[in-house]
Amino acid sequence: MGQLEAISAMSWRQQARRVQKEAHVCYFVFKDPRTRWYAKLVAACTAGYLFSPIQLIPSGIPVIGFLDDLLVLYLGVKLLYRITPPDVLDECRRLADAAEVRRREEVRSLPTVLASIAIGAVWLLAAITASGLLAAYIYR
């Protein structure tokens, strides 16, 4: 069972990376000056719906709330890819790949690791101090 769960988790992780890459592609399509106004409108409306607090099915509802977001994203991306010129789309995919490589390199850099450790240590120290102060206040 553990191996099956690992395969399932890996496929979800791969799907999440794919969605992130497609979002980068859409962003680069939106920013490209060769993209027509109606393609930019589709990209903006798709992103606007996903980030809007007013939705058909609120995201706070488990499962169904996120399914409508995925459906809007899927349809928006499909439409955007159909109305965007192929050369623009290819260039935007290359830019998204390069951005992903840069992001992976930044995550592995020494300052990023050291900053993460420092933030974790400060948070842990603050949590222990707050717990001690709260315990001292309660037991007085």
Buried b (16+ CB within 10 A) or exposed e, 96-131: beebeeeeeeeeeeeeeeeeeeeeeeeeeeeeeeee
Asked if residue 104 and residue 115 are part of one domain, the reply reads no
Give the pLDDT of residue 55. Answer: 76
Asked if residue 127 and residue 140 are part of one domain, the reply reads yes
Give the pLDDT of residue 6. Answer: 53
Helix, coil or strand: residue 58: coil
Asked if residue 67 and residue 44 are part of one domain, the reply reads yes
Q: Tell me which DSSP letter residue 32 carries.
A: -
Task: Give the number of other CB atoms < 10 A from CB of residue 19.
Answer: 14
In terms of residue numbers, what domain contains 130?
110-140
Asked if residue 82 and residue 127 are part of one domain, the reply reads no
Asked if residue 29 and residue 97 are part of one domain, the reply reads yes
Asked if residue 127 and residue 101 are part of one domain, the reply reads no
Asked if residue 63 and residue 9 are part of one domain, the reply reads yes
- The closest of 31, 51, 50, 42 to 96, measured between CA atoms, is 31
Give the pLDDT of residue 23. Answer: 80
Give the pLDDT of residue 13. Answer: 74
Asked if residue 68 and residue 18 are part of one domain, the reply reads yes
Whether residue 29 contacts residue 43, with contact meaning beta carbons closer than 8 Å, is answered with yes
Asked if residue 78 and residue 40 are part of one domain, the reply reads yes
Asked if residue 132 and residue 103 are part of one domain, the reply reads no
Asked if residue 95 and residue 124 are part of one domain, the reply reads no
Asked if residue 104 and residue 139 are part of one domain, the reply reads no
pLDDT, one tens digit for every residue, the chain (140 residues) = 455 555 455 577 777 777 778 888 888 888 999 999 999 999 888 888 877 777 777 767 777 877 888 888 889 889 999 999 999 999 999 998 898 888 777 666 777 778 889 999 999 999 999 999 988 888 88
Please give the tally of structural domains in the chain: 2
The first and second tokens of residue 57, run together, are 């099915």
The first and second tokens of residue 39, run together, are 């393609």
